[in-house]
Amino acid sequence: MNIESIQTYPLYHQIQEPYGDANGYKSYRSCFLICIRTVDGVEGWGECMDWHPYLEQSFQERIIPYLIGKKTTDRSQLVSTVRNWHHRAATGVSMALTEILARQAGIHICDLWGGIQHRQIPVYASFQSYTDRSDWIQHSLTQVERSLSAGYSRVKVKIGGRPLQEDMKHIEGVMQLTEGKVGLAVDANQSYDVSTALSWNRVFSKGDHWLWFEEPIPLDELSSYQLFRSRCYLPVAGGENLTGPTKFAPLIRQGALDIFQPDVAHSGGIGFYQDTIKMARHFGFRVSPHTYDGFLTRLYTLFCQACLSPWSKMAEESLEPVEWDVMENPFSTLISVQPKNGEVMIPEGIGTGVEWDREKLESFRLV
């Protein structure tokens, strides 16, 4: 079946109160959707992340003219060509073509990938802890408390963006609030050197419900990660910005991480993302995916996790949690897939199994 048309949908939302991590504040949220339609009227949607004008130009001037008229069943070749031009755009194209294939076959996307192995996917509440407020710690604790009331049993908060003692005061507050009943991860966004990151061991030694320490030091220093991992009390996680399996391979060789955190949006296509998580599994590493920007990307992350072989023989720990952004991000409400008590149920049906709120989508569209 051949491609007849492709529409682009750049979405934008101004955040009411900027929030952030050690890399700074975010004042807006954005994502870029595409809809590929075949001559027979079958639609597939994709999502990609980059600067909107750059994506729009790439699609209008090069990607769309190339794809029009091509056979949707030549998915691998089409995605590979687009990847050579625009790595992140290839992710959106791969999503849309995958959905079209599933719709044509009359099956769910997960069925294309060998079938669902996990219907309920655990998720963790992911926070951008910093705000410009002088009482940012109290504000963060209030938000964490709200997520506990919503039933989350795992949370991730930010460190590395404030003086060490201030950050430690914040984390000790979170520990007090969660009373050891909730899994807790901290994310430094590559802010420390090895010795500063290791000073967190004295906080870690006070609790026993830790999930992981995420990207404590720059990820290109693999020998430092190896050293750090051997001395840190917590499992070490990272890799959200790495662009595919070849970038993760050195981390496996060096034994740099315990938990791999690839992001579909940075992967250059769903296929590359799945290569990465399967590779991690083959070598005995855990996979707790990063997925922050957008919402369709997160849905595909859930699908991939649903089809991943179990990590552990213990049923309660057989699957690692997926990141769930709990900050102000209205794109999340465009589809009905939402967590309940810290888990998301994979929707059944043809294709993605979800319906769109098209009216709401148009309200976020940047013209």
Q: Which residues are catalytic?
A: 158, 290
CB of 240 to Mg ion, least distance (A): 5
CB of 189 to Mg ion, least distance (A): 6
Burial of residue 316, with CB atoms counted within 10 A of its CB: 0-12 exposed, 13-18 middle, 19 or more buried? exposed
CB of 22 to Mg ion, least distance (A): 10
Rounded CA separation 294/47 (Å): 7
Rounded CA separation 272/244 (Å): 6
| Span of 31-39, 181-189, 194-202, 347-355 interacting with Mg ion by CB under 5 A | 181-189
CB of 331 to Mg ion, least distance (A): 19
Residue number with CB closer to Mg ion (56 or 221): 221
Three-point CA angle 295, 101, 109, nearest 5°: 50
Rounded CA separation 224/302 (Å): 32
End-to-end CA distance of the chain: 30
Which residues, numbered 208-237, are part of the site for Mg ion (CB under 5 A)?
Answer: 214
Residue number with CB closer to Mg ion (167 or 187): 187
| Span of 24-32, 182-190, 309-317, 349-357 interacting with Mg ion by CB under 5 A | 182-190
| Span of 106-114, 185-193, 201-209, 325-333 interacting with Mg ion by CB under 5 A | 185-193
Q: How many residues bind Mg ion (CB under 5 A)?
A: 2
Rounded CA separation 39/43 (Å): 10
Q: Where does the chain have alpha helices with state H? A: 52-58, 64-67, 75-85, 87-105, 109-112, 136-149, 164-178, 194-198, 201-204, 222-231, 245-254, 270-282, 296-306, 358-363
CB of 190 to Mg ion, least distance (A): 8
User: Does 167 participate in binding Mg ion (rule CB under 5 A)?
Assistant: no
Residue number with CB closer to Mg ion (187 or 320): 187
Residue number with CB closer to Mg ion (99 or 187): 187
Q: Is the dihedral of CA 345, 43, 308, 152 positive or negative?
A: negative
Count each helix (H run) and each strand (E run) in the chain, helices first: 14, 12
CB of 297 to Mg ion, least distance (A): 15
Residue number with CB closer to Mg ion (47 or 187): 187
Residue nearest to Mg ion (CB): 187
Closest-CA residue to 286 (of 252, 262, 260, 263) = 260
Q: Are 288 and 320 in contact (CB under 8 A)?
A: yes
Contact pick of 47, 50, 99, 187 for Mg ion (by CB under 5 A)? 187
User: Does 325 participate in binding Mg ion (rule CB under 5 A)?
Assistant: no
User: Does 323 participate in binding Mg ion (rule CB under 5 A)?
Assistant: no
| Span of 127-135, 179-187, 293-301, 317-325 interacting with Mg ion by CB under 5 A | 179-187
Q: Are 323 and 126 in contact (CB under 8 A)?
A: yes
Which residues, numbered 120-159, are part of the site for Mg ion (CB under 5 A)?
Answer: none
Q: Are 13 and 329 in contact (CB under 8 A)?
A: yes
Residue number with CB closer to Mg ion (47 or 214): 214
Q: Residues in the site for Mg ion, rule: CB under 5 A?
A: 187, 214
